[in-house]
Chains A and B, each alone.
Chain A
């Protein structure tokens, strides 16, 4: 959308073509980019997607659209279209709900918030002034502080608004510094929040907490780490989901076009690293933070199937015997599946770049790796090496695609010599841009499973989709202050 508006603003008329099921999303995007009355032509979604497989199949859809396309470029703008008035949105600070009993008022509140698209579909706690004030006791931050804006509609994220949404989610005040740090990552200007919020691909978020605050607030990092039953994990995730809905002004089928919706869409994947059972240094220490510091790492990850970068269990567990090598082999095999996309990767498109791997290894596996001399860094190097593809095995199309990515400077500057050297007989082409693109965490119980997800190293609309922020300004915990 931004591209079409950019061009129209340069003085050349544009007609934006969109399927009818995406028209709300397109209009919303046009509004967000400052041209709410951009001319659009729709084609029927129930015909377009299934017929675009070939020119012959899609012909009736395209032929039917041509008159409207010509009309869109030649019919003079109406007075309304030529206007520059913006939609005024009045926002009341408080909302009063009256009913014959508390139970009835609670029900009415929940229905009203859902009707307004202010809820998530799960029951909410009423964010009364008293409850929000209580929530704010968990942080030293000023309620009016703006930490950023939230895509797609760029609503302001203030500490108070985060507290309101955390109150609705049923969070406790001591979780606030974690929720705020995660929101700071998501609203960072370099984080591609738009893609995970709106893409048809149903991407989701993984939020991992490191440092002593995790234990202090009772976060689960063991058996059932992705599951229910842990107030900190579950309500931190729900507070983030509600914050993204309400500050991004997001709604499914309107401007969140995730076609399947995402697993764990109400709470995302929120857990702590299992530092007690981790023979390696905690993840945040590997980034240069002190062990006594607490951090949150947020990343966008795929949802479904290995080939679509979704969650894959590499092995472990209590059913089938496993060895460290069998797990390593499965990790390598999974990463190698991304080779299918090698000829498709193109920056700025829906499939922009090779993946970063987010590998969550269960403690027993890491203990065994540690005995074998693996460190986090050595494992990163191992995965990088094992997924190199010998030049002689590349197809001409894969070679051409790699050469185009090099010519278009889609490979990071410092890695260009490595890729250029690999594109000759005897060379080996990396599937991971660099060894550090395997992000390795230790979590899960004993026994446990190791699992992984992945996501584009360079996302479609931003510079990155993985970010660590320190947790600070806590008032109710010993750590995170």
Chain B
């Protein structure tokens, strides 16, 4: 009877030890904080590749689109003049308007020129 009790006690202590062991931190005295990720999930966006480039600018029309941010006109004036010197057979067409011209204006502009330099001033 006494031997049975000792065996039962030994088994209970052994099981208890392993249960306790499984709940101990990775190393004695370590603290683990489990926290939730605060980031908002971004829905996957369909990716478009840029349009194929032009083989040459000769004989092409290049639009310069500027959003009227002060001083940008001076930069683009010089670019236009330089383009006339470096690519004399390229015609420059100047546009200005909001940050985003919107669908209708964009559709109209792409009918008029072959490529764009686009600058918003920053």
Spell out A's residues near B (CB within 8 Å). 1-19, 22, 25, 31-32, 34-39, 43, 48-49, 52-55, 57-59, 61-63, 65-67, 69-70, 72-77, 81-86, 89, 91-102, 104-106, 109, 113, 118, 126-129, 132, 149-150, 153-158, 160-161, 164-165, 168, 200, 242, 246-249, 257, 346-350, 352, 460-461
Give the complex CA separation of A285 and B43 in angstroms: 38
Closest to A2 in B: B100
Residues of the B chain whose Cβ atoms lie less than 8 Å from the Cβ of A105: 31-33
Contacts of A86 in B (CB 8 A): 44-47
Taking CB atoms, residues of chain B closer than 8 Å to A156 are: 40-43
Q: Contact check: which of A53, A77, A96 meets B50 at CB < 8 Å? A: A77
Q: A58-B78, A157-B40 are in contact. Are A94 and B101 (CB under 8 A)?
A: no
Could you say which residues of chain A place their CB within 8 Å of the CB of B36?
93-95, 127-129, 132, 160, 164
Name the prevailing secondary structure of the A interface residues.
mixed
- Are A348 and B51 CB-contacts (below 8 A) given A62-B75, A127-B35? no
CB-CB under 8 A from A58, the residues of chain B are: 71, 74-75, 78
A73 touches which of B44, B57, B103 (Cβ 8 Å): B57
Do A16 and B37 have beta carbons less than 8 Å apart? no
Closest to B70 in A: A52
Q: Could you tell me which residues of chain B, from 54 to 69, have a CB within 8 Å of some CB in chain A?
A: 54-57, 62, 65, 67-69
28 residue pairs from A and B, CB less than 8 Å apart: A2-B99, A3-B99, A3-B100, A7-B118, A14-B118, A15-B115, A16-B119, A31-B45, A34-B45, A53-B71, A73-B117, A86-B44, A86-B45, A97-B34, A126-B35, A127-B35, A128-B34, A156-B43, A164-B38, A165-B38, A168-B38, A247-B40, A249-B42, A348-B97, A348-B98, A348-B100, A348-B101, A352-B98
Mask, B74-104, CB within 8 Å of A = 1, is 1111110011001100000000011111110
With A97-B32, A105-B32 given, is the CB distance from A52 to B72 under 8 Å?
A: yes
B80 to chain A, nearest CB (A): 9
Q: Is the CB of B40 within 8 A of A248?
A: yes
Cβ-closest chain B residue relative to A55: B74
Query: Do A13 and B51 touch (CB < 8 A)?
Result: yes
Q: Which residue, A11, A95, A350, has most C-beta atoms of chain B within 10 A? A: A350
Q: Which residues of A contact B70 (CB under 8 A)?
A: 52
Closest to A21 in B: B122
A sample of 11 more A-B contacts (CB under 8 A), given A82-B50, A106-B33, A246-B40, is: A15-B117, A15-B118, A17-B119, A18-B119, A34-B48, A49-B71, A55-B74, A62-B79, A66-B83, A93-B37, A460-B99
B39 interface hit (Cβ, 8 Å): yes
In the bound complex, do residue B78 and residue A8 qualify as a contact, i.e. CB atoms below 8 Å apart? no
Known: A55-B77, A57-B74, A349-B99. A69 touches B117 (CB 8 A): yes
Tell me if B6 counts as interface (CB < 8 A to partner A): no
Shortest Cβ distance from B62 into A: residue: A73
Q: Is the beta-carbon distance between B50 and A37 smaller than 8 angstroms?
A: yes
What number of B residues sit within 8 Å (CB to CB) of A?
A: 70
Q: Which residues of A contact B39 (CB under 8 A)?
A: 91, 118, 155, 161, 246-247, 249
Contacts of B71 in A (CB 8 A): 49, 52-53, 58
Which A residues touch B72, using CB under 8 A? 52
On whether the beta carbons of A6 and B78 are closer than 8 Å, the reply is no
Q: Distance in Å from the Cβ of B52 to the closest Cβ of chain A?
A: 7
Tell me if B's interface is mostly helix, strand, loop or mixed.
loop
Chain B residues whose C-beta falls within 8 Å of the C-beta of A82 in the assembled complex: 49-50
Q: Indicate if the CB atoms of B99 and A96 lie closer than 8 Å.
A: no
Contact A11 B110, CB 8 Å, known A55-B74, A100-B31: yes
Q: In the bound complex, do residue A63 and residue B82 qualify as a contact, i.e. CB atoms below 8 Å apart?
A: yes
A37 to chain B, nearest CB (A): 6
Bound together, the chains give a CA A55 to CA B103 distance in angstroms of 32
Residues of A close to B37: CB separation below 8 A: 91-95, 118, 164
Q: Does B16 contact A (CB under 8 A)?
A: no
Q: Which residues of A contact B31 (CB under 8 A)?
A: 98-102, 104-105
- Bound: A346/B101 CA distance, A: 13
Q: Which of B52, B54, B113, B122 contacts A257 (CB 8 A)?
A: B122
B50 touches A38 (CB 8 A): yes
B97 CB, nearest partner CB in chain A, Å: 6
Q: Which of B40, B56, B67 contacts A249 (CB 8 A)?
A: B40
Task: Determine if B2 is an interface residue (Cβ-Cβ < 8 Å).
Answer: no
Q: Nearest Cβ in chain B — how far from A79, in angstroms?
A: 10
- B116 pairs with A48, CB closer than 8 A: no
Question: Given A6-B100, A66-B83, are A55 and B45 neighbors across the interface (CB < 8 Å)?
Answer: no
Asked if A128 meets B40 with Cβ closer than 8 Å, knowing A6-B103, A66-B86, the reply is no
The answer, yes or no, to whether B106 is at the interface (CB within 8 Å) is: yes
Q: Is B34 a contact partner of A94 (Cβ separation < 8 A)?
A: yes
Residue contact B51 to A55, C-beta cutoff 8 Å: no
Q: B30 touching A98 by the CB < 8 A rule?
A: yes
Nearest 9 Cβ contacts at the A-B interface: A348-B98, A155-B40, A52-B71, A247-B40, A62-B78, A3-B100, A17-B119, A4-B118, A246-B38
Please, how many angstroms separate the alpha-carbon atoms of A481 and B25 in the complex?
43
CA distance A67 to B86 in the complex (A): 9
Question: A141 CA to B68 CA in the complex, in Å?
Answer: 45
B26 part of interface (Cβ distance < 8 Å)? yes
